[in-house]
Chain A
Amino acid sequence: GAVVSQHPSWVICKSGTSVKIECRSLDFQATTMFWYRQFPKQSLMLMATSNEGSKATYEQGVEKDKFLINHASLTLSTLTVTSAHPEDSSFYICSARTSGSSYEQYFGPGTRLTVT
């Protein structure tokens, strides 16, 4: 149980275009989803936290107009990188957690974004 999927697993796009990444909880309802970014040989950095039906909360330094997050249902959150640039190339990972006291997060397999 507690499986999280991401789509696509990798994507290459041209500078200036937008890319949407999906994160789905397959066998549980995710009240909260998180989006992380990981640069090569670096650890994960939280970008934003999204709760179903409400606006995402962005971490300091993350541009909310550039990284659009939508958490429209209890099983789906999307991250759209708008007007992508080469410096946005990174590994994007989502996680999801259920309601309850354990606060355990379940992670997706990640999406490799390359902007040329």
Chain B
Amino acid sequence: KQEVTQIPAALSVPEGENLVLNCSFTDSAIYNLQWFRQDPGKGLTSLLLIQSSQREQTSGRLNASLDKSSGRSTLYIAASQPGDSATYLCAVPGGGSEKLVFGKGTKLTVNP
């Protein structure tokens, strides 16, 4: 059974700092991994999707890496801004299917 763990559960940083969010998963037989952002009371916004054949993806100030063999992914946020404050979720397909298994998220607060 696929399980996803995100560390830390919460993170508070000053504006401008670079930061790393961590995601680990137990079953490395995945075909992709997605990072999402969720604002309070809102749905999910897809940030990055990494295919299993890729090692990283970049979008603006975000960079996500994937190490399938070790069951880990990181989301790197450069030059953080108060608008980056949200909960960040990672998700992988569970059990070789298309169903997504989510971590509990990292709640990020960027202080001005």
| A and B: interacting chains | yes
CB closest chain-A residue, reference B97: A49
Decide: B36 and A107 in contact? CB cutoff 8 A: yes
Secondary structure dominating the interface of B:
strand
> What chain B residues lie within 8 Å of A104 (beta carbons)?
32, 34, 46, 49
Contact with B along A68-98 (1 / 0, CB 8 A): 0000000000000000000000010101010
Indicate the size class of the contact surface on chain A: 20 to 34
Decide: B32 and A103 in contact? CB cutoff 8 A: yes
The listed residue with most B CB atoms (<10 A of its CB), out of A34, A43, A46, is A43
- The 8 Å CB contact of B99, one of A43, A49, A93, A110, is A49
Cβ of B76 within 8 Å of any chain A Cβ, yes or no, is no
Decide: A108 and B49 in contact? CB cutoff 8 A: no
Contact with A along B18-29 (1 / 0, CB 8 A): 000000000000
Bound complex: CA of A46 vs CA of B104, how far in Å?
Answer: 13
Beta-carbon contacts under 8 Å, A33-88 to B = 34, 42-46, 49
> What chain A residues lie within 8 Å of B102 (beta carbons)?
43-45
Decide: B42 and A105 in contact? CB cutoff 8 A: no
The listed residue with most B CB atoms (<10 A of its CB), out of A44, A95, A112, is A44
Decide: B43 and A109 in contact? CB cutoff 8 A: yes
Distance (whole angstroms) from the CB of A105 to the closest CB of chain B: 6
Known: A32-B98, A44-B89. 19 other contacts (CB 8 A): A6-B43, A34-B100, A43-B105, A44-B44, A44-B102, A46-B99, A46-B100, A49-B98, A95-B44, A97-B98, A104-B34, A104-B46, A105-B46, A105-B100, A107-B36, A107-B46, A109-B42, A109-B43, A110-B41
Q: Can you identify 25 A-B contacts, CB atoms within 8 angstroms?
A: A6-B43, A34-B99, A43-B103, A44-B89, A44-B102, A46-B99, A46-B100, A97-B98, A102-B32, A102-B49, A102-B51, A103-B31, A103-B32, A103-B93, A103-B98, A104-B32, A104-B34, A105-B34, A105-B46, A107-B36, A107-B43, A108-B43, A109-B42, A110-B42, A110-B43
Residues on A facing B (Cβ under 8 Å): 6, 32, 34, 42-46, 49, 91, 93, 95, 97, 102-110, 112
Residues on B facing A (Cβ under 8 Å): 31-32, 34, 36, 41-46, 49, 51, 89, 93, 98-105
